[in-house]
Amino acid sequence: MNGVSRPDVRRNASPYLYGDEGAAVVRVLESGQYGHTDVTEEFERQVAHFLGVPDAVAVASGTAALHAALLAAGAGPGTEVVVPSMTFCATVQAILATGAAPRFADIDPATLCVDQDLVMEAVRESTVAVVPVLFGGRPIDLTAIQPQLAERGVAVVEDAAHAFGSRAGARRVGTSGALTCFSFGPIKNLTCGQGGMVTPRTPKEADLLRRLRLLGVTDSAHHRANSTSYRVEGFGLRYQLSGLNAAIGLAQLAHFTTTENTRRLLWRTYANALSGLEGVTLVDVDVEHAVPHLCQVRVSHRDRVFAELRANDIGVGVHYPPNHLQDAFVPWRRPLPGTEQAGREILSLPFHPHLTATDIEVVVSALARALKSATGP
């Protein structure tokens, strides 16, 4: 049996809706208010409460979250931002949007994440921020180097696009004292359709982020119904989260316990099915703490295995081709052996809450066959 008759197996990732999102969007549509509204602010309050932080600033996407957070951290022309090459290209584009230069860091092959040594190795005089990417949902502990970084004026801007809901110890990601950026894009752990969120470090930083996301205007239309003017206090972009999107996020958040339990269960089902399969290394994740976002393995002959699985309608993917090898980022290329090797070996199996245990069996037995034919005569 291949994946042809199983539509969920053909998709590498997929949004997962609970059914009440539609009615929530219709309520906002009928209200006639589609911009930054009370619904957006309610979403901010509920996410802050869920994470256990005093405040959270909603924006239009994860990329916008990173761009605004990096601006708040002082990134700009003449500065450098340390970032793993192993990330979605959005992380790098957000750095370039500030005018700063990316300084690519290598990764720990076991986690596909930077660690404190790799970060410190890449930090230089002109570094203003480091952007650890919480790959696949894994929290990254930089507490040991945080004093060193703070002393050098280097901010930590977490790319937690994969990691909404993950815990570091007892606390949710977003509470570590970094500027943490979430994505609520279509296939992320929680979706708004499109959306993002930043957890600020101080109330002053929260004000700055709110100005940056609303064209530099601090007293938004929402608050100036009785005024003839508005004040533009600095630089800003149209980065607000529409109430239409926030309504989807609010509905999703109410079901998040189900989402995180389902993702953990599916990941464990994969881990069991893959154990004992020769020629496959599972990229491990501590699902006690992390909400897994991807299920990745490493294999040799990856391109052949990939092609074989796709030919059998199994929705495999590659997260991600290394950024330092992309044409757009050639000026910042430097050798990163761990990333380059991972880039040749990683394979993402279909992973989203629509999958059943039977789907996972189908994927794993197709993988076993593909490995055999890729390494065979």
Ligand X SMILES: *Cc1c(COP(=O)(O)O)cnc(C)c1O
Q: Residues interacting with ligand X, by CB under 6 A?
A: 61-63, 87-88, 90-91, 133, 159, 161-162, 183, 185, 196
Residue 182: CB minimum distance to ligand X, A: 8
Catalytic: which of 103, 162, 188, 201? 188
List, in sequence order, the alpha helices (H) in the chain: 7-10, 21-31, 38-51, 62-72, 89-98, 116-122, 146-151, 203-212, 243-253, 256-274, 302-311, 337-345, 357-375
Cβ at position 204, least distance to ligand X in Å? 25
Tokens 């309050």 -> residue: 45
CB environment 277-302: b (16+ within 10 A), e (fewer): bebbbbbebebebbbbbbbbbbbebb
Query: CA 140, CA 274: separation in Å to the nearest integer?
Result: 25
For ligand X, the closer of residues 132 and 353 by Cβ is 132
Our CB check for ligand X shows the closer of 37 and 63 to be 63
- Closest contact distance (angstroms) between CB of 207 and ligand X is 23
Judged by beta carbon, residue 61 or residue 98, the one nearer ligand X is: 61
Shortest Å distance, C-beta 86 to ligand X: 9
Q: Is 204 among the catalytic positions? A: no
Which of 186, 166, 154, 183 lies closest to 91 in space, CA to CA? 183
Instruction: Using alpha carbons, list the distances in angstroms from residue 329 to 104, 114, 190.
Output: 10, 19, 30
In the complex, the smallest distance separating the C-beta of residue 181 from ligand X, rounded to whole angstroms, is: 8
Closer residue to ligand X, CB minimum distance, 90 or 299 = 90
Residue nearest to ligand X (CB): 62
Beta pairing partners, 80: 101, 127
Radius of gyration of the chain (CA): 21
Under 8 Å between Cβ of 22 and 164: no
The identity of residue 27, as a single letter, is: R
CB closer to ligand X out of 131 and 287: 131
Active site residues: 188
